[in-house]
Copies of this chain bind each other. A is one copy, B any other.
């Protein structure tokens, strides 16, 4: 299952998009950080190691939070079991909100982003990754052999937003498909200013290290975003 994935075992270093995300982060020393959907807590521990002052890791899964808690006794990290949508936190409290591959599970993204905007201080930043709309859209996702050689991704259903149920690692996973326009406009309407957008594809160096990543250049799998609450 999920806990056997490279990113679950090796943490951030096992996630090929981490180097790209890392360049979007501000200098960490002293920052108050909120991790939305912290999972096993890899980013929370990294943030503290990079100098963050205080980190709150928030997740819905008690099991994941239990494993996150077991991997550190750092008093600078607090673990909070809560729905992202609720976000029971004081306003203007955080310098940085981070979220890795969680937003595509959130039904009320407008509500969540409004809440994130509220708990960030003016000037505070949001850095997030999520599954790319091109990846979530298809009715039958999965590579197809191209009629001229190579592989293509069978894109359809892009304009039909809403739920997608896929089988993944032996379990049924339900995601929310939104177009890129909807994602970005939801962010803008929540009051954020957009700083950077990236359809992540692996670098040549990443492919050299992990050849199985080569196909990932054919279509974007992750969307990386950086934005801030205006000061």
Give A residues with C-beta under 8 Å from B. 133-134, 137-140, 144, 146-148, 150-160, 179-181, 184-185, 188, 193-199, 201-202, 216-220, 224
User: Given the complex, which residues of B lie within 8 Å of A154, measured CB to CB?
Assistant: 144, 146, 152-155
User: Given the complex, which residues of B lie within 8 Å of A160, measured CB to CB?
Assistant: 217
Chain B proximity of A102: nearest CB distance (Å): 20
> Across the interface, do A196 and B201 meet the contact criterion of CB distance under 8 Å?
no
A sample of 10 inter-chain contacts (CB < 8 A) reads A134-B134, A139-B150, A144-B154, A150-B156, A158-B201, A158-B220, A159-B199, A159-B201, A188-B195, A194-B194
Contact of A217 among B148, B152, B158, B224 (CB under 8 A): B158
> Across the interface, do B155 and A134 meet the contact criterion of CB distance under 8 Å?
yes
User: Given the complex, which residues of B lie within 8 Å of A158, measured CB to CB?
Assistant: 134, 199, 201, 217-220
> Across the interface, do B155 and A218 meet the contact criterion of CB distance under 8 Å?
yes
A138 with B152, Cβ < 8 A, contacts A180-B199, A196-B188, A198-B181 known: yes
Chain B proximity of A98: nearest CB distance (Å): 19
CA distance A147 to B142 in the complex (A): 12
With both beta carbons as reference points, the residue of chain B lying nearest to A198 in the complex is identified as B181
- How many copies of the chain does the oligomer comprise? 2
User: Given the complex, which residues of B lie within 8 Å of A152, measured CB to CB?
Assistant: 138, 154-156
> Across the interface, do A219 and B184 meet the contact criterion of CB distance under 8 Å?
no
CA distance A199 to B158 in the complex (A): 9
> Across the interface, do A153 and B155 meet the contact criterion of CB distance under 8 Å?
yes
> Across the interface, do A157 and B218 meet the contact criterion of CB distance under 8 Å?
yes
User: Given the complex, which residues of B lie within 8 Å of A181, measured CB to CB?
Assistant: 196-199, 224
User: Given the complex, which residues of B lie within 8 Å of A216, measured CB to CB?
Assistant: 159
User: Given the complex, which residues of B lie within 8 Å of A133, measured CB to CB?
Assistant: 199
> Across the interface, do A179 and B220 meet the contact criterion of CB distance under 8 Å?
yes
Chain B proximity of A19: nearest CB distance (Å): 15
CA distance A181 to B100 in the complex (A): 18
Chain B proximity of A24: nearest CB distance (Å): 11
CA distance A209 to B135 in the complex (A): 30
CA distance A195 to B181 in the complex (A): 11
With both beta carbons as reference points, the residue of chain B lying nearest to A200 in the complex is identified as B181
Chain B proximity of A25: nearest CB distance (Å): 17
